Every structure is written in C-alpha cells, then in structure tokens.
Amino acid sequence: MVGAFRIGRIFGIEISVHWSWAIIFVLVTWTFASGILGELFPEWTSSQRWLVGALISLVFFTSILFHELSHSLVARRYGIPVSSITLFVFGGVSNLTKEPERPGQEFWIAIVGPLTSFLFAGLFGIGYVMLRSVEEGVAGVALNLAAINTAIGVFNLVPGFPLDGGRVLRSIFWARKHSILEATRTASRVGEFVAYLMMGAGGVLFFFVDPISGIWFFLIGNFLRSASAASYEQLFVETVLKGVPASAVARQDYTPISPDMTLIELLEEHVLAGHGRCFPIMAGEELLGLVTLSDMRKAPRGDWPTTTVYRVMTPAASIKSVGLRDQLPQVLVLMAENDINQVPLMEGRWLRGMIHRGDVIRYIQVRQELGTGAPAR
C-alpha cells in the first residue's frame, strides 16, 4: 500500500502502518488528554495527561493489531499464508495471499477478528470491575478501552463486504449458493447498500446533529462503497477470467501481409478497405512483425510506393505476445502495462491468432452480465 511504513514483524508477518493512522493516534490521544483524563485525574498536569493519553493510544493500536493478527493466524491454520498486515485510518487490512477455499474457512477467518475485539473489551471490562473500588482513575481508563474495543468489534461486524461482517455474510451466501462469485456479488451489493445508508446517515447527522460525526459517517460510507465494488471486480478477474485461455478471445480473421508488400499497396488494398489498423507481417505461418499506422508514418509519404512493410514493421522479437498456455488475466496485465491494443497469440514463432482489446472488454462485459461462475471453454 502506498504511504505505509514497515514497523516490524510478528509471527513472520510484516506489519506496516499507513500514515493515515497518525490521524487516529492524535484523535485518541487528544480525546483522552483534553477530556476523559482531566475528569478521571483532576490533579494531573497537562503533560501527564498527554503522556498517558499517548500511552492509551498505543494500547488502542495494539488492540487493532491483535484483531488483525487473529485473522492472519486463523487464515494460516487453513493453509492460507498472510504476507503482511497494514493498519490504516479505518482499521487494518490483512493481505491474504489467496482467497479461502471453503465457506467455513472464510467464516472463521472473518468472525475471529470481532471476537478478538470483544474478548479485549471483556478483559478491560473485568479490569474495570476489579479496580473500580481500589483505583477509580485506572478503572475509568479500562472502561474506556473496553468501550473502544466494543466499538471496533461492532463496526467490523457491519454486513458490508469487505468488512468482517460482510465476509461472514458472504460465507453464508457462499455455503447456500455454492458459488463464491455469486456470493461475493450479493455481499458486495449489500455492502454498497449499507455504504449508501451510512453516507445518508452522515448527511442527516451533518445537518441536524453533529457535523463532525456526519463527516466521519460519510467518509467511512464512501470508503466502504468503493472497497466493496473493487473487491468484486478483483474476484471476478481472479475466478472467472483465470480459467479462460487467451485463445478464447483470439481472432482468426486477421489479414496476413507479405513482407515485400509496399506501404502504398498496404494503404490502398487493406487500410482504406477497412481491414484493420494493425497487420501481421508473415512468411507462411511465421510472424515476422506487426505494422500499425504509426509504423507506416516512420517512412516519408513520398517513399511509400517503394518502401516495403518489412522495412518499417515492429519486429516480432520486440513485440509483447502471449502463448497458448496463457490466460485472460495475463493478457489484461500485458495490455495495461504496455498500453497496447492488440497482442498476437503465438505458438513459438507461429501466429495462432490476434487478440484485440475491444474483444477482451466485450468478453468481460458479457461474462459479467451472465454472472456465472463457471469459466467458458
């Protein structure tokens, strides 16, 4: 994640903190130093209150870290390694290296986080009860930490994917419908609905109750909305497109061009005739290179009657291509990273088809509209 700093490693999992976490740190410290601690310990100096406020922030930070670690440790028990945990303004993100294989695994990986937060809330609550009559101030701090942990647990149980509650919901849909993709789509729709509710509530709070809480609700709702849409897209690419060979979208109706054709012949016989904008230069079945309109512009117009396509083509060796074993996600990555609109499908040096960006996009749209989980063969 951009803007995150590595702070250490626990159980072999890399722990990072996003800069936005500093906002929460200051907010929690300030809340305690300026308000709560002043009431609990009226005799304290301001620096004592700020110091203890910062210490309480660290305890708060640790409870969120334990919440995230609990997800990671359960995931690891199911054989899903976790590479890193990033803590940021709205909580934490555990980077699972792959999606759970069964709904039961997903359920336990998700639910253990809020359970851990409630466990911490319970422990601080016990601390409060035990200290109440002995040391009122410390007991008061424990009570506040119990409340904070309860809030973390409850917030994460909001049934909006990708929050923990949304994952629990997805695991239930998944168990019933037997399709993780369909379950994710339903869960992310619920997530979007919840997100709009939160944004709407934020608007109402902003105008009628408390502007600051209103802004928070709106921001969290907006975050949830974009996160739930993104996680569906990502899973769609991973599950549906992963099984689809690149050849499924490759066209066979390309126009092979002989290397000794001149540019003027290419222009008149093929470009102006509407046979496309990118032509494979071939010797038999072997691909020698590609000629696009921008390749043609390399030669001055006056030279077009005498210049062969072979002279201006981009040679096969410097063309990005995919093989028969490649799948759609690789094609998408290749097109995106190199900003290209067509990729030849190769078997060694032989051309087996041409893949166009437009065809890939159409394919994805149709699959999304059908919404089925089984890859097309």
Please report, as ranges, the residues that interact with Zn ion according to CB under 5 A.
Answer: 113, 156, 164
Which residue lies nearer to Zn ion by CB, 66 or 193?
A: 66
Q: Cβ–Cβ contacts within 10 Å for residue 151, how many?
A: 12
Residue nearest to Zn ion (CB): 113
Q: Tokens 């990033």 correspond to what residue? A: 86
Which residue lies nearer to Zn ion by CB, 164 or 295?
A: 164
What is the rounded CA–CA span in Å between residue 154 and residue 162? 15
Which residue lies nearer to Zn ion by CB, 154 or 340?
A: 154
Taking phi over 0 as left and psi of -120 to 50 as alpha, with beta for the rest, 254 belongs to beta
Q: Cβ–Cβ contacts within 10 Å for residue 292, how many?
A: 17
Which residue lies nearer to Zn ion by CB, 57 or 72?
A: 72
Which residue lies nearer to Zn ion by CB, 63 or 156?
A: 156
Smallest separation, CB 35 to Zn ion (Å): 28
Q: Tokens 């016990």 correspond to what residue? A: 126
CA-CA-CA-CA torsion sign (362, 367, 370, 375):
positive
Smallest separation, CB 105 to Zn ion (Å): 15
Which residue lies nearer to Zn ion by CB, 34 or 83?
A: 83
What is the rounded CA–CA span in Å between residue 131 and residue 251? 75
Smallest separation, CB 19 to Zn ion (Å): 21
Which residue lies nearer to Zn ion by CB, 113 or 221?
A: 113
Reduced to 3 states (helix: H, G, I; strand: E, B; else coil), residue 322 is strand
Smallest separation, CB 60 to Zn ion (Å): 15
CA distances from 201 to 90, 158, 205, 212 (A): 18, 14, 6, 12
Which residue lies nearer to Zn ion by CB, 113 or 125?
A: 113
CA distances from 356 to 242, 294, 295 (A): 18, 17, 18
What is the rounded CA–CA span in Å between residue 162 and residue 99? 12
Residue ranges with strand state E in 177-292: 278-283, 286-292
Q: Cβ–Cβ contacts within 10 Å for residue 30, how many?
A: 14
Smallest separation, CB 67 to Zn ion (Å): 5
Smallest separation, CB 318 to Zn ion (Å): 47
Smallest separation, CB 376 to Zn ion (Å): 35
Smallest separation, CB 164 to Zn ion (Å): 4
Smallest separation, CB 3 to Zn ion (Å): 21
- Show the tokens assigned to 55: 């210490």
DSSP state of 283: E
CA distances from 230 to 19, 189, 223, 319, 328 (A): 22, 12, 11, 31, 19
Which residue lies nearer to Zn ion by CB, 93 or 309?
A: 93
- Show the tokens assigned to 240: 């549906």
DSSP string covering 152-211:
HHHHHTSS-TTSHHHHHHHHHHHHHHS-HHHHHHHHHHHHHHHHHHHHHHHHHHHHHT-H
